[in-house]
A = this chain, B = another copy of it.
């Protein structure tokens, strides 16, 4: 079987600093031989940052993540799985965007995503700001047969992103899950949001989430949970019982020391070791689509933010690989 998997160019043949970078050195989708059959995951960039409320620049995120991902190898030591032996993976390039219009961009990305590769291919979007997750979620939801009630959601973020509107605009990186829930793409009762931190505008900022039954684990709560080993995340995943689950990772859930390259950094976040532990604790979840967003290269330092984002891709793919083996 492995012989039919898409292959990556070994760093022992082409050095990892050479060649035109694709995500984790996976082949371009257009270059994948027909004999491979459908790829399991298509990873694509969305170079758009028109949905931000503070600092723009995440449009350069996909390029930075591709660049930093060259050192991501395929074998996961802790899970004991080689992602390239289990999965066929491809870089599908960047989705079309319309820099001046968030509405046209979401349409364009959605249209790109829903037809991408084979219907069974799962979609991994690399932002760009968080607003673009809507398009990937919608395409994923459709490709999974429009499950009633919506997909379950594992959300890692410093913010809830359930604001109704900002400056009179209902689409943006602060309202992405408000829209996805309102449109039935995400089931708020099966949504876990980990990492909320930083001061809010008012106490009302969490009202919607509480009314809709979103499970919140603030950064402080997660740190306490982590110290005490109380296992809230594992329990949440177990309760999902293998339902179709989307994973959305906003890099600002990580502390600015580890991820300075983002637009609305907030102190008190997770370390990268904690991110790994958290993602690995999701073992068993049935991830059917994912994104990593809000990498802003102009604020990055020695590419550490982009490198972290590249590893998030890898860890999520491994969750799927582990589940299949």
A222 and chain B: residue at smallest CB distance: B273
Check A265 for interface membership: any CB of B closer than 8 A. Answer: yes
Point out the residues of chain B lying under 8 angstroms from A200, CB to CB. 73, 75, 77
> In the complex, what distance in Å separates the CA atom of A107 from the CA atom of B261?
33
Check A291 for interface membership: any CB of B closer than 8 A. Answer: no
B98 x A167 contact (CB < 8 A):
yes
Point out the residues of chain B lying under 8 angstroms from A99, CB to CB. 15, 52-53, 167
Point out the residues of chain B lying under 8 angstroms from A74, CB to CB. 199, 201-202
- Copies of this chain per assembly: 6
Check A96 for interface membership: any CB of B closer than 8 A. Answer: yes
Point out the residues of chain B lying under 8 angstroms from A60, CB to CB. 17, 55
A93 x B63 contact (CB < 8 A):
no
A309 and chain B: residue at smallest CB distance: B267
Point out the residues of chain B lying under 8 angstroms from A233, CB to CB. none
Contact string against B for A residues 251-278, beta-carbon threshold 8 Å, 1 for contact and 0 otherwise: 0000111101100111111111101110
A61 and chain B: residue at smallest CB distance: B17
A63 x B57 contact (CB < 8 A):
no
B298 x A272 contact (CB < 8 A):
no
Q: Which of B100, B266, B299 contacts A102 (CB 8 A)?
A: B100
B201 x A276 contact (CB < 8 A):
no
Min CB gap A55→B, angstroms:
7
> In the complex, what distance in Å separates the CA atom of A82 from the CA atom of B15?
35
B257 x A304 contact (CB < 8 A):
yes
Check A219 for interface membership: any CB of B closer than 8 A. Answer: yes
B298 x A267 contact (CB < 8 A):
no
> In the complex, what distance in Å separates the CA atom of A304 from the CA atom of B304?
14
Check A40 for interface membership: any CB of B closer than 8 A. Answer: no
> In the complex, what distance in Å separates the CA atom of A192 from the CA atom of B54?
36
Known: A60-B17, A63-B21, A272-B267. A53 touches B11 (CB 8 A): yes
Q: Which of B52, B260, B267 contacts A311 (CB 8 A)?
A: B267
Known: A199-B77, A304-B256. A19 touches B94 (CB 8 A): yes
A82 x B304 contact (CB < 8 A):
no
A169 and chain B: residue at smallest CB distance: B100
Contact string against B for A residues 278-311, beta-carbon threshold 8 Å, 1 for contact and 0 otherwise: 0010000000000000000011111010011001
A261 and chain B: residue at smallest CB distance: B302
Point out the residues of chain B lying under 8 angstroms from A227, CB to CB. 227
Check A186 for interface membership: any CB of B closer than 8 A. Answer: no
Min CB gap A48→B, angstroms:
9
Point out the residues of chain B lying under 8 angstroms from A138, CB to CB. none
Contact string against B for A residues 1-36, beta-carbon threshold 8 Å, 1 for contact and 0 otherwise: 000000000111011111111100000100000000
Q: Can you add 6 more A-B contacts, CB < 8 Å, to A18-B94, A77-B200, A98-B168?
A: A11-B201, A17-B47, A53-B99, A255-B257, A260-B302, A267-B276
**Sample of 15 A–B contacts (CB below 8 Å):** A12-B166, A17-B63, A19-B93, A54-B71, A55-B57, A75-B200, A82-B202, A83-B199, A100-B102, A100-B169, A257-B272, A260-B304, A268-B273, A268-B311, A269-B272
